[in-house]
Amino acid sequence: MRQTGKFIFAFGTLLFIALLAYTSACKREPVYIGYIDPNPIDTTGGPGDTTIITPPPPVTHPCDPDSVYFTQQILPILTSNCAMSGCHNAASHEEGVILDNYTNTRNTGKINLGSPSNSKLYRVLNQTNERMPPAPMAALPLDQRALILKWIQQGALNLTCDADCDTTNVTFTTSVMPIITLKCKGCHSGTNPSGNIALTNYTQVKATVTSGTLMGSILHQAGYVAMPQPIGSAQLPDCDISKLQIWIAAGAPNN
């Protein structure tokens, strides 16, 4: 009788372990459905760890004010605030996080589609301890943080839109500063701005117009350091360049 009891116990234990192994194996199976995997970072050490999400190519639409477009609105924030050397470019990949393009951002940014505000990519922007980007860089402006959250809430999609280039009524406030804020200010602000050049207000931007470095660097002319960085970044879109040129041709007014 005792023997049978032992046998049943041993058999039962074995069955239990087998069941446990089976269910945890199931859990580790990749559950990705294309790029909408809500939890792309698998740190279980299981086979899911190596799976890379292959996102679809960008979808191009006419720009809709209610949608967030990764290419136009999010990537410039990431490249000018996060994806520089020593931080989150491919070579430095601090803490494994690479924010230089859509695929890397989705694969390493710990984006949580199920709970967007808990995404690491968003949370670190608001932390008082270990805030990103770290000092001496300035914190991201609130509207840029809100845009990143909205992008995640909309599914962290790889959207691109075709904006009409409106070069009527070009002014410093409505045309020039938004470009600088989105694409330059990350590096050119804070207590230790890149190249010792701050671009956070009219006076500072105007000084680079007067010295010729603004257009020299933006047009990638010989003798100037090409902007925007990181090194190898594409030139600003033609539409941005046109607006800057129109504004400068009008005398670079503070309007």
Return residues touching ligand HEC (CB under 6 A): 80, 84, 183-184, 186-188, 194-195, 197, 208, 213-214, 217-218, 224-225, 227-230, 236
Q: Within 10 Å of residue 3's Cβ, how many Cβ atoms?
A: 7
Smallest separation (angstroms) from ligand HEC to the CB of 204: 10
Amino acid type, 22: Y
Torsion of CA 27, 31, 37, 38, to 10 degrees: -30
Closer by beta carbon to ligand HEC, 113 or else 239:
239
Distances in Å between the Cα of 82 and the Cα atoms of 66, 94, 230 are 25, 10, 10
Alpha carbon distance 243, 216 (integer Å): 15
Closest distance between ligand HEC and the C-beta of residue 240, in Å? 8
Q: What's the min distance (Å) between Cβ of 194 and ligand HEC?
A: 3
- Closer to ligand HEC by Cβ: residue 157 or 236: 236
CB nearer ligand HEC, residue 112 or residue 181: 181
CB of 195 to ligand HEC, least distance (A): 3
Place of tokens 């199976």: 29
Residue whose CB is less far from ligand HEC, 12 or 253: 253
What burial letters (b/e) apply to 23-38, b meaning 16+ CB within 10 Å? eeeeeeeeebeebebe
Which one, of 79, 55, 78, lies nearest residue 159 by Cα? 55
**What is the nearest approach in angstroms of ligand HEC to the Cβ of residue 79?**
6
Q: In this complex, which beta carbon is closest to ligand HEC, that of residue 105 or of residue 208?
A: 208
